[in-house]
Structure 1
Amino acid sequence: MIWWLSRNTRLSSEKAALADLEGSVDWLQVGKWQANPELAMCVDLKIEHRGEEFGFEMRYPSIFPDAPPMIFTNDQSRISLHQYGPDGELCLEHRPDNWRPAITGADMVASSHRLIAEEQFEGGDTVHARSAHIASLGRDLRSKFCRLLMTESDVKAINGLPEYIGEAVSLSERKAASTFISSINHIGSKDDPLWTSDLVLPKADREELGTAVRVPGSGACGKTSADDLRSVLEGVKLQDLASELFDTDATTHLLMGNKDKWELFWLYGEAKARKVISYSMVIVPPERQRLPTGFDDLANKKVGIVGCGSVGSKIAASLCRTGVGKFLLIDEDIFFPGNVVRNELELNETGAHKSHALRDRLKNLAPNADVTALRMTLGGQESAESMTGALEALGDCDLLIDATASPKAFNMIASIATRQKKPMVWAEVFAGGIGGVVARARPDLDPVPLAARGQIEVWCNDQGVDWIRPESAGQYNGQGDDGAPLIADDAEVTIIASHATRLVTDILARPDSGIFPMSAYVIGLSSEWLFEQPFDTRPIDLKPDGQWGETSDALEPEELLEILKEHWPPKESDDATAAAK
């Protein structure tokens, strides 16, 4: 609805307030009130100051009075340093951050006059009026589409270079969200660098070589003309460097500055018509503690995840963000467009194995993460050697996760967890939007995984309510009472995966004193099955059952020695002697 039609009383009061202001001052003339083609209400204004006349248009937004009117110059000229560009609105005392509906357009016009009076002096001189702006990095960078990221350590290192002496610099270039981002890899030669940056980012789109030079008081920042930049270099007697950068058709890079003012210049084009693009320096804030205390040691933990589908991919990404440093991923499935509705992966990974695509995803989240990905299915038609290798690799993990919803895979993971005394966590999303289950099995604290799963099944059967289960494992849909399909969406899968992730981090960070009193939870996401309402959570008290650890025959030392003698592999010299005979 157009505000000046639905709230004509407010329009009348706006006109009256502006007319009262016009009658009480000698610097204001109010023109015609008229809607523009976009049906925004506008009014022409003339403000006089020191004999000079300024023409404006005040334009009311469609959501007025919830947002302030905007005042523009009629000729799209810049008349103030508090203006969003030549054709932009004036930045006045009343802004979106302090606006109140009781403020009127007349108040905005009065603010405009005060701004002009403070900035405009005789002779055409302009000074910057006092500012109430709060600095914002995001706002300052809105128009900076080429940015150079540097850490405080980078700045300190590059300020340690000798003055006026060029040094090789290696740069990483990447494009992110329509912005070109550059960062320092190292200063000096690759084999013997003077400095290697402590900014750790994923693999760049490309790497570029350039020259870094410290030039005190160079005044280079903001130079976007090749002639101007060359003049700066030649003015500080860096003619050789200038010739190297400009007398060529090759793409070159120059990092120049001093103290807290550094700028990267990208030079390209033919020697007779060189062009320059400048990158604005952005200091990366120091890392702050963003994770709970006690999570510091997660970087040394290795987690094995079997199943890289919806649940597994989300658990893996969350654990990676939480600081887990090592992963083993196992899945033979291929990622297709239909998977994107619930998976951590993106359409760019279409056609790739989920385990390998998820490995790359984790490396993008944490470049230093150690991730091994296997393209296979536990219990599938694999070679005995590859299956053995996968199970041995699982045994080397600190914790195992089953995200397959496959009984066969569960049994194999449970066997490894039980024999190797490794904690295990599993999660399942069932019956579409109904809910899910998360559970853990900790060595010597909980029942072994197979016994734990059996106790959960018994508990569910004892509820006296029929299960609404999918027809096959791994399918997040079933049928309700009316026969309509029940399909789990991304939020529902994420909830179950997040609960499972919390069980994992709790075990890794607090192996002997977890915060969860129970080891299994059935989580409701709707008012179906046994759940009275969404987020209805039912804990299941698991009782210790089964033996953790390897089981072995009781043998006397003499018997063990005889077995070793009989089966110990022969030496190479023994094999050679036997062959000669």
Structure 2
Amino acid sequence: MSWYLTDVARFRAERQGIEILAQEVDWFAVTAWRLDARLRLVLDAEIGAGGRVYPIYLQYPDMFPHTPPSVFPRGDTARWSEHQFGAGGELCLEYGPDTWTANNTGRDLIESCHKLLVTENPGGDELGDAPSRHVVSLGQGLRIRYSRYLLTRTFRALLSELPLRASLEANLVSLYHKESVVHVVDKVTLADGTQWTDPTVPSQLGPEYTERRVPICRWDETDTPPTTESLDEFDSGFAAVGNTLEARYGFIVHGSELSVFFLDRKKRSVVDVAVISPPPEATRLDAAHSVLAAKKVAIIGCGSLGSKAATMLARSGVGGFVLVDDDILLPDNLVRNDLDWRDAGVHKVPALARRLQFVNPSIDVLQWRVPLGGQEANESADAMLKRISECDLMLDGTADPNVLNLLSAVAASAKKPVIWAEVFGGGFGGLIARYRPGIEPPPSFMRRAIENWFGERGSLPRRSHRPYEAIGTGIDVPMTADDADVSVIAAHAARFAIDLLVDRGPSLFPNSVYAIGLGADSVFSQPFDTYPIDVGPPPPEPEVVELSDQEKVTEIATLLELLKDKIGGTDPTAQDN
């Protein structure tokens, strides 16, 4: 129901306040009150300013008095003010959604409108300048600009190094969206024939979107920029400095400023493309995160949890990944996976690699489209495990005990940490766990301690892992965890990982395992119940077998015989190596 029916007293106060204003001043006159087609209350009136009469209408919104009325020109499509949303559009006054309170009235809007018009049109030939109550945001300024160019910091740094009046060639990548097209340059062929590549633009952007070669030239600040009034005049201005332009897009660097133009040769017109300049550079991560660029993480399992944790680590600055998974992304996976329809039908590993490099173009990704511990060639499996062992951290997102056992053996041998995480079936909670060789017990011991901890409380968690052999057999495994459930556990796992990789000293996490509640079920009484689980110290190291000197001589002689056979029967002791 309209506000003027539910608050008749406010309706009377609004009407009386405006009609009293018309009696008090000579610059304002009420024409009529009316209801528009949407039954909104509207006042038609006239305001005098600078020797001119401005017909206006004041339109009350449905949510008045919680949102302010609007003032529009009435029957006039000309632009009245610099503080106006386009010709014939709403006037931008002192009172807007950011400054309005319910104590303000329509009369305040009328007085503000008069102040604006008098300030900007005081009479005579001179025009005034009314101060703005706000700064138009980047988003507001680009709402009506379909064609946009994204200027990166690295490309902006290159512009001042380009030779004057030399026509070079740039590779323009265009990303078409429903509401806009965004362009970016990823490569420039320099005057000496070498190619400059922007390291901050993903390398796969060009091949996946639209690429075209466009001319770019740098003019001196004293050169007159070409007019965009017509295509012929633009071409003439371009040719005035010895350049010709036949492409659909042209780049001009005028002094230190970049201008981008779209040339519609069919309509014989020139469109000035909006250039989005980079904001001042600001540090968005603390200094401790800088070490992550040199770190490499193995992600075992690129499903819902693994894909989310990997993306979070990439955003945090991790510079290298080894991705291991043999699965295909299907549309049914999209309820939880960090990927989307653009990668449906693709192996999860290359799809996630693409995702990570779109997040951080400088990331190095090694891809293995195989299952860890699956039926693969021994040599291939060995090579994969070697690459995993070279990582600074291994993250298991498979929730498969067999995978974790193999991974923990690799970790123990390489003295590298492992993090694993699970989301319990039903989405009521999950757990995160950390294994540091020599500090925590191996995962097989830890899993036993975890099961005992839940068992002592009379509630073992339901596992959401569905083994391959269960598919199609009718075995029902709860899989109702939603994206938010998985994201919470993945975020905790990523935080665990960052703590290990940054290595500020003592860990922020005094315990190695945490059970995290997302609902009232199992051991959890409510969402966000968190329980640290004590898994005990690592078992004692196995006794080291020491050989006698004679036993060592015997074993070394055996190795030398093997080396002798390897190098063609020569005596290996005679070789420098």
Taking structure 1 as the reference length, the TM-score comes to 0.88
**Paired amino acid for 2:366:** T
- Specify whether residues 116 and 16 from structure 1 end up closer, same or farther in structure 2 by C-alpha distance, changes over 3 A only: same
Residues 379, 551 of structure 1: CA spacing in aligned structure 2 closer, same or farther, 3 A cutoff?
farther
Residue 265 of structure 2 aligns with which residue?
269
Q: CA deviation at 1:276?
A: 2.6
User: In the alignment, does 2:151 pair up with 1:150?
Assistant: yes
Alignment match, 2:473: none
Kept in 2: contact 1:155–1:259 (CA 8 A): no
After TM superposition, give the deviation of residue 17 of structure 1 in Å. Answer: 0.5
Output the amino acid matched with 1:365: V
Moved more, 37-46 or 254-263: 254-263
Is 2:361 the counterpart of 1:360?
A: no
1:243-291 deviation line (CA, Å, top 9, x unaligned): x32xx5xx34322242453211233536xx5443322222212432212
* 1:129-144 correspondence to structure 2 within 5 Å: 129-144=130-145
Within 2, Cα distance between the matches of 1:502 and 1:453? 21
Task: Name the counterpart of 2:327.
Answer: 333
Given the alignment, which residue of 231, 234, 250 partners 1:229?
234
CA shift in 2, pair 1:553/1:498, >3 Å: farther
**Structure 1 counterpart of 2:283, which letter?**
Q
Equivalent position of 1:494 in the other structure: 487
Query: Which SS does the other structure have where 2:318 is aligned?
Result: coil
In structure 2, the partner of 1:6 is 6
Quote how far apart the aligned CAs of 1:321 are.
0.6
Matched, 1:258 2:261: no
Which residue type is aligned with residue 139 of structure 2? G
Which amino acid in 1 is paired with 2:453? W
The Cα offsets for residues 182-209 of structure 1, whole Å up to 9 and x where unpaired, read as 3343554387559654644452322523
Q: CA offsets, 1:294-334, max 9 Å, x none?
A: 22111111111111111100110001111111111111111
Distance of 2:116 and 2:348 partners within structure 1: 60
Greater mean alpha carbon deviation, residues 45-54 or residues 144-153 = 144-153
- Residues 415 and 198 (structure 1 numbering): CA distance in 2 closer, same or farther, change over 3 Å? closer
Q: State the Cα deviation string for residues 344-403 of structure 1 (Å, max 9, x = none).
A: 001111111111111110011011101112111122222222222221221111111111
Tell me the amino acid that sits aligned with residue 533 of structure 1: Q
Moved more, 206-215 or 544-553: 544-553
Task: Name which of 317, 328, 332 aligns with 1:323.
Answer: 317
Secondary structure at the counterpart of residue 568 of structure 1: helix
> Secondary structure of the residue that 1:517 maps to in structure 2?
coil
Equivalent position of 1:117 in the other structure: 118
The answer to whether structure 1 residue 557 and structure 2 residue 562 are counterparts is no
1:578 alignment counterpart: none
**Cα distance change, pair 567–179 in 1 and its aligned pair in 2 (3 A):** same
Question: How many residues align structurally?
Answer: 557
- Pair 1:58–1:459, CA change in 2 (3 A): same
Counterpart of 2:528 in structure 1 is 535
> 2:288 is paired with a residue of what secondary structure?
coil
Moved more, 185-194 or 489-498: 185-194
* 1:164-203 mapped onto 2 (5 Å cutoff): 164-175=165-176, 178-189=179-190, 192-193=193-194, 197=198, 199-201=200-202, 203=205
Q: Does 1:504 align with 2:497?
A: yes
Q: Which residue of 1 is the match for residue 60 of structure 2?
A: 60
Q: 1:23 to 1:191 in 2, by over 3 A?
A: same
Taking structure 1 as reference, are residues 310 and 554 closer, same or farther at Cα in structure 2, changes over 3 Å only? farther
Correspondence 1:348 to 2:342: yes
Residues 200, 361 of structure 2: 8 Å contact kept: no
Amino acid at match of 1:130: P
Cα distance between partner residues in 2 of 1:194 and 1:376: 36
CA distance in 1, matches of 2:189, 2:128: 45
Q: CA deviation at 1:524?
A: 0.8
For normalisation by structure 2, the TM-score amounts to 0.89
Distance 2:275 2:172 in 1: 14
Cα distance in 2 between the residues matched to 1:492 and 1:373: 27
CA-CA distance at 1:504 after TM superposition: 0.8
Distance 1:554-1:539 versus aligned 2 partners, 3 A rule: farther
User: Quick one: structure 1 residues 222 and 502, their matched pair in 2 at CA, closer, same or farther if it must change by over 3 Å?
Assistant: farther
Paired with 1:548 and 1:274, the residues of 2 have a C-alpha distance of 81
Aligned to 1:71: 71
What is the distance in 2 between the residues matched to 1:213 and 1:552? 73
Q: For residues 547 and 501 of structure 1, do their structure 2 counterparts lie closer, same or farther at Cα, with a shift above 3 Å needed?
A: farther
Letter in 1 for 2:291: D
* Residue 450 of structure 1: how far off its partner (Å): 1.9
Deviation at 1:160, TM superposition (A): 4.4
Structure 1 residue matching 2:119: 3-state secondary structure: helix
Post-superposition shift, 1:337?
1.1
Match of 1:32 in 2: 32
Q: Distance in 2 between matches of 1:548 and 1:473?
A: 34
Superposition CA RMSD, Å: 2.9
Q: Secondary structure in 1 aligned to 2:509? A: coil
Q: Secondary structure at the match of 1:487?
A: coil
Q: Give the deviation of 1:7 after TM superposition.
A: 1.6
Distance (Å, rounded) in 1 between the aligned partners of 2:5 and 2:224: 55
**Following the alignment from structure 1 to structure 2, what is the Cα–Cα distance between the partners of residues 426 and 415?**
14
**Given the alignment, which residue of 270, 273, 288 partners 2:282?**
288
**1:452–1:474 CA distance, 2 compared to 1 (3 A):** farther
Unaligned runs of 5+ in 1: 476-482, 576-581
Identity %: 34
| Distance in 2 between residues matched to 1:421 and 1:352, nearest whole Å | 34
Q: 1:471 to 1:108 in 2, by over 3 A?
A: closer
Whole-angstrom distance in 1 between the partners of 2:34 and 2:396: 67
- Whether 2:558 is the aligned partner of 1:567: answer no
Once residues 542 and 338 of structure 2 are traced to their aligned partners in structure 1, the CA distance between those partners, rounded to angstroms, is: 35
Is this contact kept in 1: 2:227–2:237, CA < 8 A?
no
1:280 aligned partner, one-letter code: A
Partner of 2:565, secondary structure, is coil
Q: 1:523 to 1:403 in 2, by over 3 A?
A: same
Paired residues for 1:304-319 under 5 Å: 304-319=298-313
| Aligned twin of 2:408 | 414
Q: How far is the alpha carbon of 1:474 from its aligned partner?
A: 9.5
Counterpart code for 1:254? G
Verify the 8 A CA contact 2:47 2:114 in the aligned structure 1: yes
- CA–CA separation in structure 2 for the residues paired with 1:62 and 1:404: 53
Contact 2:165 2:217 in 1 (8 A): no
2:215 aligned residue: 210
Is 2:147–2:273's contact at 8 Å kept on the other side of the alignment? yes
User: 1:130 is paired with a residue of what secondary structure?
Assistant: coil
Residue 506 of structure 1 contacts residue 515 of structure 1 at CA under 8 Å; is this kept in 2?
yes
What amino acid maps onto 2:399 in structure 1? A
Residue 554 to residue 13, structure 1, CA distance change in 2 (3 Å) = farther
1:319–1:505 contact (8 Å) kept in structure 2: yes
Shift of 1:125: 5.7
The answer to whether structure 1 residue 83 and structure 2 residue 77 are counterparts is no
Quick one: structure 1 residues 96 and 275, their matched pair in 2 at CA, closer, same or farther if it must change by over 3 Å?
same
